[in-house]
Copies of this chain bind each other. A is one copy, B any other.
Amino acid sequence: MARLFERAVLIGIGHIGSSLARVIRRDGLAGTLATLDNNPAHRAKALDLGIVDIATADAAEAVTGADLVVLATPIGTYDALARAIAPHLAPGAIVSDVGSVKMAAINDIGPHLPAGVHFVPGHPIAGTEHSGPEAGFAELFRGRWCILTPPEGTDADAVARVTALWESAGSTVEVMEAQHHDRVLAITSHLPHLIAYTIVGTATDLETTLQQEVIKFSASGFRDFTRIAASDPVMWRDIFLNNREAVLDVLQRFTEDLTALQRAIRWGEGDKLQDLFTRTRAIRRSIIDARQA
């Protein structure tokens, strides 16, 4: 693959940032690769792994001369980071991110960027429940979707270069409006995580003996929830706080549906249960057909 950028900067070298670093390294996509990360252990690890050339906690040092800057930190850090890097960005530079809420990215980063800097918000639909630079791997994005939500009027060449980056990672890029993205992800990702966190939390509140048995017999269904309820706490806190309206809306629908099921169980309405369980089986089939299983 040809070099896409002279100097690429990843802000945050955790699970996603370090996976992207490995892609950029493997494919020679950048002349120089730097990370801006305020965690000394992460900086040391990234240098140790040889996945970046430069690791610093200084915004000016990191982004000066960069033609690509990708934020890969929890959404709650965006505003302060955008303020910190903005004075050091040159016209023509591209700023992107990998966050799970795109309206928040646009609202928190966009206003701080100087004229001539191109902003292409992004969201790779990939990840595991693990965190930190050592948990990353270049194949993380292969066969997955990456959604870009460039505001109207964004430079087409900038969008094309960010697209090329993700295609090099093995992803298929889809462009959509930020608000629509946030609504889709509220149901496909944010609500499932919220539910998983809740049910695992409910189990932790049981008396100790029962809690041990929950762990022991978790293969009966519970463990499928624990994997996603092990995702990064700060990252997920920020997702819920920043996609509040969409999450509360789908949560309301979910609660209504759950209440209806609760009532069907209480009154022994077996047909209603069986009807729903038959419909949900078909959805699984669609996911297998779409090769996302």
Residues of A within 8 A of B (CB): 76, 100, 125-127, 129, 144-145, 147, 183-185, 187-206, 210, 213-231, 233-234, 236-238, 240-241, 244, 247-248, 250-251, 253-255, 257-258, 261-262, 265-266, 268, 270, 273-274, 276-287, 290, 292-293
CA distance in complex: A247, B225 (Å): 17
Secondary structure of the A contact surface, majority rule: helix
A89 to chain B, nearest CB (A): 29
Q: A218-B292, A250-B202 are in contact. Are A265 and B241 (CB under 8 A)?
A: yes
Query: Chain B residues with Cβ under 8 A from A125's Cβ?
Result: 217, 219-220
Q: Which residue of chain B is the closest to A265 with respect to CB atoms?
A: B240
CB distance from A102 to the nearest CB of B (A): 13
Return chain B residues, CB-CB under 8 Å to A127: 220
In the complex, the chain B residue whose C-beta lies closest to that of A282 is B204
Can you report 29 A-B residue pairs in the complex whose CB atoms are below 8 A from each other? A125-B219, A145-B216, A147-B217, A187-B203, A187-B206, A188-B213, A189-B221, A191-B199, A192-B225, A194-B258, A194-B261, A196-B224, A200-B280, A202-B257, A215-B286, A216-B290, A217-B292, A218-B287, A224-B227, A226-B283, A229-B283, A230-B285, A231-B281, A233-B273, A233-B274, A233-B278, A237-B270, A238-B270, A240-B265
A226 touches B280 (CB 8 A): yes
Residues of B within 8 A of A191 (CB): 199, 202
Which residue of chain B has the shortest Cβ distance to A172 in the bound complex?
B216
Given A187-B206, A204-B283, A274-B234; A248-B224 close (CB under 8 Å)? no
Contact of B274 with A218 in the complex, beta carbons under 8 Å: no
CB distance from A214 to the nearest CB of B (A): 5
Instruction: Write out the residue numbers on chain B whose beta carbons fall within 8 Å of the beta carbon of A195.
Output: 195, 199, 225, 258
| B233 close to A217 (CB less than 8 A) | no
Is the Cβ of A224 less than 8 Å from the Cβ of B228?
yes
In the complex, are the beta carbons of B237 and A274 less than 8 A apart?
A: yes
CA distance A275 to B107 in the complex (A): 27
In the bound complex, do residue B240 and residue A201 qualify as a contact, i.e. CB atoms below 8 Å apart? no
Q: Contact check, B198 vs A257: say whether CB atoms are below 8 A apart.
A: yes
Contact in complex: B248, A283 (CB < 8 Å): no
Roughly how many angstroms separate A102 CA and B89 CA in the complex, as a whole number?
66
| Nearest CB of chain B from residue A158's CB, rounded to whole Å | 24
Closest residue of chain B to A293, judged by CB? B223
Q: Which residues of B are found within 8 Å of A280, using beta-carbon distances?
A: 196-197, 200-201, 204, 226, 229-230
**A223–B189 CB distance below 8 A:** no
- Complex Cα spacing A230 to B268, Å: 21
Query: Of B147, B202, B254, B285, which is within 8 A of A202 by CB?
Result: B254
